[in-house]
Amino acid sequence: MKSVEHAVVGAVVSAAAATLLFPTPSGVAFGGLVLFGVLLSVFVDLDHFLIARAMAGDWRNLERAVTNPRVGLVEQEKVFAELDEEGLVQRRLLSHHLIGGALTLALALLGLGRLAVFVAVVLYAHVLCDYLRDIGYA
């Protein structure tokens, strides 16, 4: 999915999760949780550049996205166009699972159980959307 799509899904899921997990937050706290969820939904995809670096052996994909804002923001399908798409998809989804699991566990171990669940829900929605797009349902 594109970043804008992940941001929209992240906003909706974050708002719902914040409402259920933190039933009486202040307006600022609620807004902060939703903003955090949106940022998490979008920026978890930065792992794609690390995966592309490992697959291609250089940073050309990151360079393409940074030096051409149209490709980086609007035509995101062109960022990794020359890479083995199936290999990238498998590694991307694995990376998202690893990041989500590690972040959720870290928050839980720090005694931030509700925040850990919030992160797990937001990243679950992100990965689910990626799966749905990959199999042609979204």
Would you put residue 57 in left (φ > 0), alpha (ψ -120 to 50) or beta?
Answer: left
**Which pLDDT belongs to residue 33?**
96
Measured on CA atoms in the order 56, 57, 59, 64, is the torsion positive or negative? negative
**Which pLDDT belongs to residue 47?**
94
Contact 137, 56 (CB under 8 A): no
pTM above 0.75, yes or no: yes
Q: What is the DSSP letter of 82?
A: T
**Which pLDDT belongs to residue 116?**
98
Q: What is the DSSP letter of 76?
A: G
Q: How far is residue 7 CA from its own chain's centroid?
A: 9
**C-alpha span between 30 and 17 (Å, rounded):** 10
- Measured at the CA of 130, the angle between CA 44 and CA 124, to 5 degrees, comes to 65
Please report, in tens digits, the pLDDT of each residue of the chain (138 residues total): 889 999 999 999 999 999 999 988 788 999 999 999 999 999 999 999 999 999 999 999 999 999 998 888 888 889 998 888 888 989 999 999 999 999 999 999 999 999 999 999 999 999 999 999 999 997
**C-alpha span between 133 and 137 (Å, rounded):** 6
Residue corresponding to tokens 């989804």 = 93
42: number of Cβ within 10 Å: 18
